[in-house]
Structure 1
Amino acid sequence: MSSETILYIILAGILALLLALFQYFRKGKNMSKWYMFFSFLRFIIIFSILLLIINPSFEQLTLHVEKPNLVVAVDNSTSVKYLKQDGAVKNFIETIQNHAGLQEKFNLDVYTFGDKLNALDSLSFSESQTNIYHAFKQLSQVYKQSTAPTILISDGNQTYGNDYQFVHDLYKQPIYPVILGHTVRYTDLKIQQLNVNRYVYLKNKFPVETIVVYNGSETVNSKFEISNQHGVVFSKPVTFSKEDNSKVIHFTLPATAVGVSKYKAQIIPLSHEKNRVNNIKNFAVEVVDQKTNIAIISDFLHPDLGALKKSIESNEQRFVSILKPDNIIDKINDFQLFIVYQPNHRFKLLLNKLKTSNGNYFTVIGAKTNLNFINNTSEVYDHDITNQREDYQAVLNSNYHPFIIDDIGFESFPPLQSHYGSIKFKQPVDVLLNKSVHKVSTDDPLLVTFETQGRREAVLLGENIWKWRAHSYLENQSFQEFDDFLGKLVQYLASNKQKSRLNLDYNSFYEGNNHVVIKADFFDKNYVFDARETLHITVTNKVSELSKTFPLVLKNNHFEVDLSGLEAAEYQFTVKATNEKISKSGSFEILEYNVEQQFLNANVSKMKQLATNSSGTPYFMGNSEGIINEILADNRYQAIQKSTKNTIPLVDWKYLLAIIASSLGLEWFLRKYNGLI
């Protein structure tokens, strides 16, 4: 409290005393005991009110003891049960939770993880994926500012994600791995990896690559086979030894029928082999009878050309050719879509032919585009000519309705460069992306689609889209999100099918029952997205003929249902709108595959390396009691006494209000009682 505030309080006390004495002195010739008491009450009232006006502050010091956290992360995947360690894990968790020494020294937090991290509710060992790195990434956000030694109970077998043995750069806590499983190396044959294209073309042969690995010391013979519903379609004898312990098998298979073709790859197990689950790998390919040919036409070289080609050709159903405007005139009938990149006067004959043939095309307008030519050629839009350039970022229009589109982080993408100025459309268009300048959204479109005279067109008002694809890879370690976005745009432009009010987005087959997601988009009669509709999906198992109905959940600008709980089988489904008689059907297949059953042993080397990198100690489940003694004896984990200093203003002190109210009430009552009122 400052000296100035103390001076104000003293002056307030003097003023309150003078006012109280003045009010009662002038009313009586002598000061009786009642008048003295009334003067005291009046002094208390006036002084308290003046204190509230001055509102001095007081410092309050609070001491508390903060114990370190002990984090326990338990692998809840099916591999723990497969390795017969589930009972030992439950007993060990119970020991930790009931240990008096740990409870006294630590705040105990127990989590389970598979593909996600969750607070411990129960241990089911039913997770079908394991991502140890992601679990530590989430823990690093919770325990960033505290001491939290961590016990990791796992077999160390991660099915996807970044390499967790280097997670100490992210998670700055000592990690004590408790390793589940056996260190004994059993003789084992397994299919390590199988590579095959997702889509193949009718009457073509598609390549398959398989990597088979042997773990053992003796020389053994086996046979590798590929079979389908008609029998064995490929076989090859293989021989392994301690030195020659892996084989890469290349072969091709014919695509004879349109649709999804299922295959089973198998390495015949040895007679004494313990784990035979990893000897089999199911896979499927979708046979299509048509390939989409797309032409990118440009008068100069630009990184966008390669990015567009790579992105579009990530779908094996599409083939891209990069041509000059003079070289494509006689080949127009060979392509289903044309990407006109920054056109100039050399594109005049091409655009005239496209309009005559009613061909679909996608125009990219950039800094080198001849706007005079664009304005003279296009019948749909005009662009202002300012001879200035500007950088534009993208903002997704959530009301875009021709097809379902996900927000892949457009607002964080690098800006595209184009001409400064507005574009005016002479007919209604569907805006997919709007422009944003310096993070300020505008009403000007960046990417639009429209239909005119039965022809579909798109216009992108910016170049350097290759930066978007590169940024998407840096964010997701994969080009898939960007390629899917561009693939949907290309699919829409390459097709002239009539608009449908109910659109579905799903895969023909799924590997395992994880992430089986079907999306739907529903529009009203004006083709505006209708979030009021209720959609349901009925899924029928083709073999058992058992049907289940699920609601589709509204998520952002589309409907979605997660069918990940379904067993591996072939399914037919129908999506119906509740309020209107609109439905659409399809089929998909869930392939039987459990990646967690591919492991026979614990990954001891990585778990030990994780402990070394994080200044922890590895243990096996058999001697896991030692980890409790070590953590209790470690002087790094001590309780810390912390003090908290709070500045509390007097106006927050509720008792002062009570004093004022009680003093006023008491004065009024006594004066009333003595007949002074």
Structure 2
Amino acid sequence: QRYIVKIKGVDNEISYVNNEKSLSINVLESKKEILLLSNAPHPDISVLKKSIENSDHYNVNAYQAKQYKNRMSRKDESLEAYNVVIFHQVPGTKSRGTQLVKLVLQEQVPAFFILGPESNLNLFNRLSTGLRIQQSNKSTNEVTAKPAKGFGLFTLSKQLQDYISEYPPLMAPYGDYKFNFNNANLLNQKIGKVASNKPLWTFVQRPEHKIGVLAGTGIWRWHLSEYSNFQTQDRFNELINKTIQYLSVKADKRLFRLRDPKSEFYEDEKVTFEAELYNEAYEPVEDGTITMEITNEAGKTYKFKFRKIANGYQVDGGYLPVGKYTFEATAQVHNNNYSLNGEFVVNPIDIEHLQTVADHQLLYTLANENGGAMLYPRNIKSLEEVLNNKEKIKPIAHQEYKLKELINNKFLFFVIVMLLGGEWFFRKFFGGY
């Protein structure tokens, strides 16, 4: 829903532009419920809970497996209430949580397994998760993350992709990793300086059931590492939340769909959309034709055609004027036609109007960081002294040379011709020839 908030202007107000602001409000039907079950207390648990709840879309309940089993026996809890279940080293030693995992797999609740030294891999391999880790002995490796090529389930920001290899190592089970279903690796294991194809962060593509696996514990170090370097955990939160978002979203059975269409753009931002097109067997269609018509409030229509990209189709509408727009996307594949419609707005950038008072602290910081100085009107007389004391400010003399052929000087040319002609005339007249 889109709203416009206005306040009444007052007499002698310098600008009325910042008295009005438009905004969009997306109303969520309800938060998605995430269940976090652990084998034992671990610093990963609090980091995961904090990161997931950083988003307004999720609510997290964390229990130890034994504690949650008791709650279920008292009928205080039900797995039907949860959109995703995270198992941290469950099933664990002494078979803790095995029955809970079986129940989650049976009811096809999306699951995310975090495996580590306390995981019971023999039990895990029997649970038909789609991944088996064969070990000759129970051992672990210190591994770092390396982004895998060709991952297309969702995209990571460039900031996260550039930094993800700098995260501290995790403790990963050592063994032979085998899949019973197709899988998509988000991150691979890097052991020392040797990059491998063993999955570190992967998704098993089981029919009608989404399963993710992180083959390593110690992500609390990732959380601390990022804060130490950037005083923020935005990259880590993005990684966790996009994983949960992928697992929690129900499968879209539409043959033609737009991928996460935005409802708001700014005037300095290109209007772009991505689309996916499938045939009746839910196989990606590579040769489909997709067009889009975007109409503004005045009724003017802009027509665009999608181009093929690696994992779908994309259209670039360029920069559009500020205003409200509606769109209709049409796909044609063989003899079938599909259409989608929606709306979006292009908002103005009103930074100058919203901040009408000079930010002296910002100006001082810019001057100080770039070797300059900030002077107030009362100190303007000291400007000459400040400039003279700056060692970097020195007089610079510039010399410029230009070469010009004399033949291009018409005046000089005619003078020479006249002199030569005069010499010839006088020699002829006085008998010099």
Q: TM-score, normalised by structure 2?
A: 0.72
Give, in whole Å, the separation in 2 of the partners of 1:535 and 1:299.
49
Partners of 1:472 and 1:479 within 8 A in 2: yes
Note if 1:596 corresponds to 2:352.
yes
Deviation digits for residues 168-217 of structure 1 (CA, Å, limit 9, x no counterpart): xxxxxxxxxxxxxxxxxxxxxxxxxxxxxxxxxxxxxxxxxxxxxxxxxx
Deviation digits for residues 100-156 of structure 1 (CA, Å, limit 9, x no counterpart): xxxxxxxxxxxxxxxxxxxxxxxxxxxxxxxxxxxxxxxxxxxxxxxxxxxxxxxxx
Matches within 5 A, 1:237-276: 261-276=1-16
Matches within 5 A, 1:345-494: 345-378=95-128, 380-385=130-135, 386-406=137-157, 408-409=160-161, 410-473=164-227, 478-494=232-248
Deviation digits for residues 314-354 of structure 1 (CA, Å, limit 9, x no counterpart): 33121111122232534211111111111121212212222
Partners of 2:261 and 2:274 within 8 A in 1: no
Give, in whole Å, the separation in 2 of the partners of 1:634 and 1:579.
69
- Once the two structures are TM-superposed, the CA of residue 457 in structure 1 deviates from its matched residue by 1.0
Give, in whole Å, the separation in 1 of the partners of 2:284 and 2:219.
28
Give, in whole Å, the separation in 2 of the partners of 1:415 and 1:535.
44
Q: Whose relative contact order is higher, 1 or 2, with alpha carbons under 8 Å and at least 6 apart?
A: 1
- Runs (5+) with no aligned partner, structure 1: 1-260, 641-677
Q: 2:86 aligns with which of 329, 339, 343?
A: 339
Give, in whole Å, the separation in 1 of the partners of 2:59 and 2:191.
35
Q: Which moved more, 1:357-366 or 1:445-454?
A: 445-454
Deviation digits for residues 390-447 of structure 1 (CA, Å, limit 9, x no counterpart): 1222222332233444452222322221211221112222222221222432111112
Q: Which moved more, 1:522-531 or 1:289-298?
A: 522-531
Secondary structure class of the residue paired with 1:287: coil
Q: 1:311 aligns with which of 46, 51, 60?
A: 51
Deviation digits for residues 281-302 of structure 1 (CA, Å, limit 9, x no counterpart): 3332101223211101112222
Q: 1:321 aligns with which of 47, 58, 61?
A: 61
Other-structure match for 1:587? 343
Other-structure match for 1:51? none
Deviation digits for residues 9-56 of structure 1 (CA, Å, limit 9, x no counterpart): xxxxxxxxxxxxxxxxxxxxxxxxxxxxxxxxxxxxxxxxxxxxxxxx
Partners of 1:401 and 1:523 within 8 A in 2: no
Give, in whole Å, the separation in 2 of the partners of 1:363 and 1:598.
47
Partners of 1:365 and 1:463 within 8 A in 2: yes
Partners of 2:277 and 2:312 within 8 A in 1: no
Q: 1:568 aligns with which of 313, 316, 322?
A: 322
- Once the two structures are TM-superposed, the CA of residue 478 in structure 1 deviates from its matched residue by 4.2
Aligned residues: 377
- Once the two structures are TM-superposed, the CA of residue 449 in structure 1 deviates from its matched residue by 1.5
Give, in whole Å, the separation in 1 of the partners of 2:119 and 2:240.
22
Opposite residue 599 of structure 1, the aligned amino acid is: Q
Change (3 A) 1:511 1:462: same
Opposite residue 311 of structure 1, the aligned amino acid is: S
Q: Which moved more, 1:447-456 or 1:496-505?
A: 496-505
Partners of 1:393 and 1:439 within 8 A in 2: no
Note if 1:540 corresponds to 2:295.
yes
Give, in whole Å, the separation in 2 of the partners of 1:570 and 1:281.
14
Opposite residue 489 of structure 1, the aligned amino acid is: T
Please give the root-mean-square deviation of Cα atoms over the aligned residues, in Å: 4.0
Give, in whole Å, the separation in 1 of the partners of 2:228 and 2:291.
37
- Runs (5+) with no aligned partner, structure 2: 397-433
- Once the two structures are TM-superposed, the CA of residue 368 in structure 1 deviates from its matched residue by 1.8
Secondary structure class of the residue paired with 2:2: strand
Other-structure match for 2:37? 297
